[in-house]
Amino acid sequence: MIDLSGEELCLKLLSAVGKAFDAKRMVKVKSVHISGISYQNIGDAGLEWIEELSRTAKFKVRATVNPAGMDIERWREMGIDEEFYEKQMRILNALKRMGAKLEMSCTPYYFERVKIGDRVAWAESNAVIYANSVIGVRTNRESGITAIASAVTGLTPEYGMHLDENRVADLKVKLELKREGDAAIAGCLIGELECKVPYIVTRKLRESEMKAMGAAMAATGGKAMFHVEKQTPEWDCYKIPEETVEIGEEIEELRRERYPVEKPELIAIGCPHCYAGEIIKIAEFAKKGFKIPVWVFTCRRLLKNDVIARAKDLIEKGGGKVFCDTCMVVSPATEMFESVMVDSGKALTYLPKLRGVKAYFGSLEECMKVAISGKV
């Protein structure tokens, strides 16, 4: 039982975090994004805590939530049992009572009106690194609990990525990207480098490449920010590091190492969640028909767009499935398969660790070719 009121408890929790990190003050946040809301992740203890908190606490700022453990409308198609469904819905309903917007997407940066310099408290690794790097927002990599506490209080301790000195790059990375999918694999490699904030020198990157690279970087090395020379908003705000490493042939080596050696049982796309362009591309491939199951993960809000809704229909007509509210990493549904092929460095890293399945990598086009041909 919680003896303090919900807000008192949350403020006490944030104060303890601030003290641990020598934060001099609390700052107001514009928005919050809560991760770790899958019942698979938090179990009965987390469910009970959130339900108890929801009896006395309300969110003061806009709060969105990460993917849950299932598609809340098509959970049976995913092989989710009724007990899991009921407990997952209790978690979501408790968050909704407190005021959360149930977007259930790991890409709040596509829906939140945030801008350079804004303070937020986000707790999803790919969203944190995207926000700090590509938008110039300021956020630490919060836990699900501290994000909830920030939503209740509207505050976060000022430490870590909220301070200029921690946003300074400490290693220059010269990156040679040759083909589609290289950015995701490069992110895996950069994440393992001994640095906090890499300064990347490479060709001009597309937004989708920065998204994929950052997500992989955060998964393999817990990175919270990167700079890309002449592209990201803070690339020239701080001193550029002199120490330099080069990554080139290592990308192709890792791609060869992680390309499937057997026919995967599932092709899973959408980690982070697919956005419009990716869904439209998959729909074009789907016209040829899939011989291997293809699961595409995205945000339900996106399907309200008529163009995307039609693309979704084409994917399902071709033998694929488009699931919302969840993803292959946080759902136990993925455990039905022994091997999964992905176009994501993040999924490549997390699937073996969290779901216990073999993960193979290919670019989106490579994944689609395998799905259509039924062979590697």
HEC per residue, 233-251? CCCCCCCCCCCEEEECHHH
CATH code reported for the domain at 6-164: 3.30.499.10
* pLDDT band of 5, cuts 50, 70, 90: confident
Which CATH code fits 259-373? 3.30.499.10
In this predicted structure, the answer to whether residue 325 has a pLDDT above a threshold of 60 is: yes
pTM higher than the cut 0.75: yes
User: What is the percent of the chain with per-residue pLDDT over 70, rounded to a whole number?
Assistant: 99
Q: What is the pLDDT of residue 232?
A: 98
Contact 185, 345 (CB under 8 A): yes
Query: pLDDT band at 1, cuts 50/70/90?
Result: very low
Sheet order of strands, 244-247 included: 227-228, 198-201, 171-175, 244-247
Asked if the domains 6-164 and 259-373 are classified in one and the same CATH topology, the answer is yes
Domain chopping of the chain, boundaries: 6-164, 168-256, 259-373
Residue type, 228: V
219 in Cβ contact with 349 (< 8 Å): yes
Structure confidence at residue 214 (pLDDT): 98
CB 170 within 8 A of CB 193: no
Q: What percent of the chain has pLDDT over 90?
A: 98
Q: What's the confidence (pLDDT) of residue 3?
A: 61
Residue 4 has pLDDT above 90, yes or no: no
- Answer yes or no: is pLDDT of 333 > 90: yes
Whether the predicted pLDDT of 150 surpasses 90: yes
Name the amino acid, one letter, at 284.
E
Q: What is the pLDDT of residues 357-368, one digit of tens each?
A: 999 999 999 999
pLDDT, tens digit, for every residue of 15-71?
999 999 999 999 999 999 999 999 999 999 999 999 999 999 999 999 999 999 999
Stretch 258-282: mean pLDDT:
97
Give me the chain's average pLDDT, please. Answer: 97
227-247 tens-digit pLDDT = 999 999 999 999 999 999 999
Give yes or no for residue 2 having a pLDDT over 60. no
